[in-house]
Amino acid sequence: MSGKNEALFKSKMDSASLAKLTGLENDKLYDFLADAIALCEPAKVAVFDDSPADHDAIRQLAKDNREEASLVMDGHTIHFDSCNDLARDPGSTKYLLPPGMTLGKGLLAMGREEGLKEIRSYLAGCMKGRTMIVCFFCLGPTGSVFAIPCTQITDSGYVAHSETLLYRGGYEQFRKIGNSGEFFRFLHSAGRLGPDLTSIDTDKRRIYIDIAQDMVLSVNTQYAGNTVGLKKLALRLAIRKADRDGWLAEHMFTLGVNGPGGRKTYFCGAFPSACGKTSTAMLPGESIVGDDLAYFRVIDGKFRAANVEKGIFGIIQDVNPKNDPVIYKVLTTPGEVVFSNVLVKDGKPHWLGMGCELPAEGVNASGRWTKGKKDAAGREIPASDGNARYTISLHRLANVDAALNDPAGVVVGGIIYGGRDSDTWAPVQQSFSWRHGIVTMGASLESETTAATIGQQGVRKFNLMSNMDFVAIPLGKYIQNNLDFAAGLPKAPPIFGVNYFLRGADGNYLNGMLDKAVWVKWAELRVHGQVEAIKGPTGFLPKYADLKKLFGQVLGKDYTQAQYDEQFKIRVKENLAKLDRITKVYQDIADAPKAIFEELSTQRDRLLALQKAKGDYVLPEQL
């Protein structure tokens, strides 16, 4: 450590914090922290390690700063964000690019020097009179090939507390890397605070990703999606690191599915928002490794995945004892839970869709609230925000998988891509090959907006592998990395496409909410070659007899031939229209791999041949 840095640290830290910091012996860390102190001008700096005592101190700091308040139930706290700061802000989230670098169309970016000058002007002096918090975390299981050490600097006890729930402690991981410069860095400040201790200058909210330095800077925001650096902000950095090092960072859950004879098969799945991702990750009777992010590596010839996180930052709306009994139990029993932007009445949290009538008054992100209260624009303010959240550790869940922290990760048996689609995709199908699945399922993923009128087609939004908002390299390169990843494997995991939102002619859904359990069980059997399938133009389809048996075994329900025919008939016209939309998307992407156009063209030929022979709508038995 340089003498200059040592003198600065001694002037801001007590002896305990200084001892923790000097115990790491990392010059790049010291320089990062020294620059942050000089820039933000905190009154003091507190360094925290992985110990339970330090995590308790962080929880207490969040309360002492009045960023969180205790609720009636032991371990439960409530945090409110500003009404102008209740969600991720994609428009203010930008990549900072060195001269000559481009990420291609569709990714928000600006010049590095310009961006750093702007955000550093907002960070200058932002922590005067406050404590700067320095924490260490690890993305992926510690001590593993998946592990990426990270340091978070913030003035928010709420941010630090959230990260202790969501991520594995990284202090010891920093000890192991010694003086290496290989770690991610995050600097955050809530900025100026109002009387309610929420960020005032949200018009100056900035979340900038300095890809040249594996660093994220954010200011004038408190909402966790903008401030908890290790979540989607780190995903962007990880995608770039994976590109450099030859692995994949994906926006996917990891689920253990129980098969016959005590067998367990792990699936990873990518679903855009509101397409069934969490409900699939939390299927009754199965086990959850992770609900959101996964790193993929090939280890000893096997496709392996690890959950980047150890907790859940989840949307709380519609979590109720019927639909999400495991999560609901955690949210309604003693234990550590951070609620954000819900309604609080008499020290108890209430949220939309919790399965009971909500109070007509209380406190929420808008302050004192009564039913019918309107905002400045005359819009009625709901009791609980639609993006209200809960933060918990996965170990609280009864169905957490024993392999959550396994340094080797889990062997992936299959990949699932799911969208929201009213009229095209079958409820479940299997790709013909890894390439076919990556192109026609993952790289063709769409999410459909809810139609205003029953039967009216919603607006479809393209969302490449559900990672469109987070890809930090040119899109074509990202797709090519996925295509190449399974090359050389003795057996690539089969890829499945699912769709829980198919509608009939009357506008009603053709699938029940729990039918996804059957589709996943069928996929598990297909991984092991235990059921046959029908070859259709877009993939392998289940046979009726197998699904009828599974519906009885899994759900105790009858499943009719008429239901099967309506759900799994080939919708040729709609599939051709989808190919038109996806082809057009990739025609506008300069570096789109040739494999995309080849697979889409071949799929079109199969559909056209079927249309010529059988018509626009074809039952599986006609194939």
How would DSSP label each residue in 229-243? TTTHHHHHHHHHHHH
pLDDT at 323: 81
Q: pLDDT by residue (tens digit) across 284-302? A: 999 999 999 999 999 999 9
Identify the CA nearest to 151 among candidates 35, 264, 265, 266. Answer: 35
The H or E element containing residue 186 is strand 184-189
The single-letter code of the amino acid at 562 is A
**pTM for this model (two decimals):** 0.94
Q: Which residues contact 167 (CB under 8 A, 6 or more apart)?
A: 137, 138, 139, 150, 230, 309, 310, 311
Q: Give CA–CA dist 126/36, Å, rounded.
A: 10
Closest CA to 154 of 133, 137, 170, 135: 133
Amino acid of residue 479: I
The model's pLDDT over 139-168, given as tens digits with 9 standing for 90+, comes to 999 999 999 999 999 999 999 999 999 999
Q: How far apart are CA 192 and CA 201, in angstroms?
A: 7
pLDDT at 456: 47
pLDDT tens digits, one per residue of 110-127? 999 999 999 999 999 999
Q: Which of 135, 138, 268, 275 is catalytic?
A: 275
* Three-state DSSP state, 614: helix
Amino acid 454: pLDDT: 35
Instruction: For residue 179, count CB atoms less than 10 angstroms from its CB and return exposed for 0-12, middle for 13-18, buried for 19 or more.
Output: exposed
pLDDT score, position 590: 86
Phi, psi of 467 (to 5 degrees): -125, 10
Q: What is the per-residue burial (b if ≥16 Cβ within 10 Å, else e) of 538-563?
A: bbbbbbbebbbebbeebbeeebeeeb
> Is residue 3 packed enough to be buried (19+ CB in 10 Å), middle (13-18) or exposed (0-12)?
exposed
Compute, in degrees rounded to 10, the torsion defined by CA atoms 461, 467, 473, 474: -30
Strands in 343-345's sheet, in edge-to-edge order, are: 348-350, 343-345, 361-364, 367-370
- Here the tokens at position 363 are 């406190």
Amino acid at 76: H
Whether the Cβ atoms of residue 123 and residue 42 lie closer than 8 Å to each other: no
- From 2.40.10.120, 3.40.449.10, 3.20.20.370, 3.40.50.150, which CATH number describes the 3-246 domain? 3.40.449.10
Alpha helices (runs of H) in 79-231, residue ranges in sequence order: 112-123, 157-166, 171-177, 224-227
Residue 257, beta-bridge partner list? 265
Alpha helices, DSSP H, located in 369-446: 434-437
Asked if 500 contacts 506 with a C-beta cutoff of 8 angstroms, the reply is no
Residues 6+ apart with CB under 8 A from 379: none
Report the SS3 class of residue 110.
strand
Give 283's DSSP letter.
Answer: -
Provide the residue ranges of all domains of the chain, joining segments of one domain with +: 3-246, 249-310+404-622, 313-396
Would you state the pLDDT for residue 449? 67
Active site residue 83: no
- Classify domain 313-396 at the CATH superfamily level: Phosphoenolpyruvate Carboxykinase, domain 2 (2.170.8.10)
Residue spans of the chain under pLDDT 70: 449-458
What's the rounded Cα separation, in Å, for the pair 326 and 329?
A: 5
| The predicted structure's pLDDT at residue 452 | 30
CATH number of 249-310+404-622: 3.90.228.20
Instruction: Name the residue among 293, 392, 395 with its Cα closest to residue 340.
Output: 392
Cα atoms in the Cβ-side hemisphere of radius 13 Å centred on 346? 3
Residue written as token pair 């090959």: 433
What is the identity of the amino acid at 409?
Answer: G
| Closest C-alpha among 304, 294, 327 to residue 393 | 327
DSSP three-state, residue 276? coil
At 344, which helix (H) or strand (E)?
strand 343-345
